[in-house]
Chains A and B, each alone.
Chain A
């Protein structure tokens, strides 16, 4: 069965520092991959997605993610974190052969940003 692992439950970084959030997946084939962000008390917003092609994808708010097939990973990065980036981040995977099958989400990584 497909699964998503986000090894870090909580990460704290200083404002202006770089960020990398880890995501590993288990899937029978190359899946569609997503990163979502959730501010407290809000719904989830799509940051970026990978379907095919260039393995480095750019998203909103200055985020990027790199798909590494050999490592079954899709890590999220940002070169310089802003205080407004403090939120919960979710990685998700979905099948490429059926849009009806629900996405599988990781348990999330909570990001705190300190001055």
Chain B
């Protein structure tokens, strides 16, 4: 069966520090991969999605970037974090019908 792993689960970082959140999927090949962010009371905001290795679509211009170095690995990064980057980050993988399967999320607090 397919599983999705996301880490770290919790992260507290100072403003200006770098960020790396990692997501890996097992049990499937060539999945569509997604990064979402949840800020308090603002629902799900799509940040990036990828339909293949090295193919990244950015939905929102911001301080973040994404990379897909391997078929089932999706990384969210930042060179210098801002206070506004705080939030709950969710990785997901998708199938052809659009259905998404989510990881457990990473809580980022920028101080």
Contact = CB atoms under 8 A, between A and B. Distances in A.
Is B a genuine binding partner of A? yes
Interface of A: 32, 34, 36, 41-46, 49, 51, 90, 92, 94-95, 99-103, 105-108
A103 B105 contact: no
A42 B59 CA distance: 23
Name the interface size band of chain B. Answer: 20 to 34
Contact of A106 (B43, B49, B90, B94): B43
Contacts of A51: 97
B100 A103 contact: yes
Given A90-B44, A94-B98, A99-B98, 4 more contacts: A32-B98, A41-B105, A95-B98, A102-B98
Nearest to B94: A99
Contact of B97 (A43, A94, A106): A94
B33 to A, nearest CB: 11
B95 interface: yes
